[in-house]
Amino acid sequence: MSAAVTENGYLGGKLRLRQPARGYRAGVDPVLLAASVPAMPGQRVLELGCGIGTALFCLGTRVAGLELTGLEVQAEYAALAEGNAVSNGISARIIVGDLARMPDALKQAQFDHVIANPPYFDRAASTAARDPGRELAMGEDTPLAAWVDAAARRLAPKGYASFIHRSERLPDLLGALQGRLGSVKVLPLQSRQGRDAGLILLRARKGGRAAFRLHAPVLMHEGTRHEQDGESYTPLLRAVLREGAELAFPE
């Protein structure tokens, strides 16, 4: 990873995060993931593959009093996450380790919420990124099933796992959940009217027995195409991205 870093604002500047100038850089996806988590003050949250801490710290900014833990395999990104926690006045424990070989510090721990933004691209059907940090963040080195297994093992009874992923990987994600987590809800994210949903938010519960639910999509941008400079987010997305509002699943 390059030594050069930039500092970027999230949630309308409430959160300032340092991240690599090159390599994997956090966009809106971890912010949307954090907004969808139904956490309550006092609960324990683990993020698998926390990177620089974007999702974890967005959630901690929205919901006060959470016990936050991040697991990150890349030591350089974990160090940035630790620094970002300190600079934003957020209490969090960042652990360097591989979710497929769970560190001893987490093997006996249980959490009310486990969240993850797994690598999107199956490298059996795509091209690797040149930057090693970006490739490890975006290219699926650890199988998606291992992410689900790690989440299920770390969840307390009745705890929730929350994922954001590309829509075409939904069958793989649902297959990995089979027999591990239940009460599955899927919230598609549609970039513009008339387009297929490119992303999905998925929530599942340990011990859950409710029927599977596929909700109507959330529209991210106004209009059918980008027609002018500047943002075109819908009011809901602006509230989530700029004000730290919740992105709630329908009841």
Indicate the domain borders of the chain: 5-243
> Letter for the amino acid at 82?
E
* Arithmetic mean of pLDDT, 225-248: 88
For 100-156, what is each residue's pLDDT tens digit?
A: 999 999 999 999 999 999 998 663 554 444 545 444 544 458 999 999 999 999 999
Q: Which residue has the higher pLDDT, 136 or 62?
A: 62
> Is 19 a residue whose pLDDT tops 60?
yes
pLDDT (tens digit per residue) in 21-35: 888 888 999 999 999
Contact assessment for residue 249 and residue 203, using Cβ atoms and an 8 Å cutoff:
yes
The DSSP H or E segment spanning 49 is none
Alpha helix segments (H runs only) across the chain: 29-36, 54-62, 75-87, 104-107, 132-138, 144-154, 170-177, 235-243
Q: Supply the DSSP symbol for 128.
A: P
Instruction: Give, in words, the CATH class of 5-243.
Output: alpha beta
Q: Is there a contact between 208 and 183 (Cβ–Cβ < 8 Å)?
A: yes
Q: What is the rounded average pLDDT of the residues 66-86?
A: 97
Which tokens is 124 given?
Answer: 């059996």
Q: What is the pTM of this model?
A: 0.89
- Which carries the bigger pLDDT value, residue 178 or residue 2? 178
Among 21-25, 77-81, 158-162, 214-218, whose mean pLDDT is lowest?
21-25
